[in-house]
Amino acid sequence: MGNSAPVALITGAAKRIGAQIAKKLHAEGFNVIIHYNRSMHKANVLVDQLNVTRSNSATSLSADLCNLSMIDSLAEQALASWGHVDVLVNNASSFYPTPIGGITDSDWSSLVGSNVKGPLFLTQALAPALKARSGSIVNMVDMHIDRPLPSHSVYLIAKNGLASLTRSLATELAPNIRVNGIGPGAILWPERDMEEEEKQKLIDTIPLGTLGSPEDIADTVWFLINAPYITGQILYVDGGRSLYTSASA
């Protein structure tokens, strides 16, 4: 394709928080690559919307981030889109409880694959290209990394791995590539059904008294991309919720 705008690859960007990050970066002048796994239709609707605003400024690519050859092919196709990549946002994630006693190998593959294997190998594949552009990486972690969420051990092992990866790569890839993370609190309810009472109980644990919004996260991504002296940090965007120490909240 070829044009000189900066390019961002956002994983899991067909909907929800990832889509908002893509819209924000696009509004700030980036060409965006909307990665998806199953949400092809939503990804393509978003791409069409963005291309109406500015032609040849958005595209979509699919990959299962648990699959190494798909990750490598995603990186290759991403680079082929406009010839360079400036920003990688590792946002895709699977999230569900895994109570001890019923954890399977497939839970491990899905949760560790999407939350840490994908980000690690995608970063490895894109590192030379990001280095050439003095690029940056933002990893979507979780404020629960050091405040266990009951029955979510595998998810939190994976998110802790991602937090560790953020800090390791911030040193290994410096000074050419900055690597930061965001630790969202309660931003969007999970896509499973939740009782109103359960929701209210959670809101009661947020000092600022309300859920955050995808815009809060997208604005923080933008801040970190534009913070030339910040690397290796995980910024909690959680309405103060991480100030509570209870493991069961």
Residue numbers annotated as active site: 155
Alpha-carbon Rg for the chain in angstroms: 17
Q: How far is the CB of 137 from ligand NAP (least distance, A)?
A: 14
Going by C-beta distance under 8 Å and a sequence separation of 6 or more, which residues neighbour residue 244? Answer: 147, 205
Nearest CB to ligand NAP, comparing residues 112 and 127: 112
Q: How far is the CB of 133 from ligand NAP (least distance, A)?
A: 24
Going by C-beta distance under 8 Å and a sequence separation of 6 or more, which residues neighbour residue 141? Answer: 159, 162, 163, 166, 181, 182, 183, 184, 234
Beta strands in 92-156 (DSSP E): 136-140
Q: How far is the CB of 114 from ligand NAP (least distance, A)?
A: 4
Nearest position to ligand NAP, beta carbon: 12
Measure the CA–CA gap between 127 and 165, rounded to whole angstroms.
14
Nearest CB to ligand NAP, comparing residues 6 and 113: 113
Nearest CB to ligand NAP, comparing residues 32 and 186: 186
Q: How far is the CB of 157 from ligand NAP (least distance, A)?
A: 13
Torsion angle, alpha carbons of 233, 238, 243, 244, to 10: -130
Nearest CB to ligand NAP, comparing residues 86 and 216: 216
Residues lying near ligand NAP in the complex (CB under 6 A): 12, 14-18, 36-39, 64-66, 91-95, 113-114, 140, 142, 184, 186-188
Of the candidates 43, 119, 57, the one whose C-alpha atom is nearest the C-alpha of residue 88 is: 119
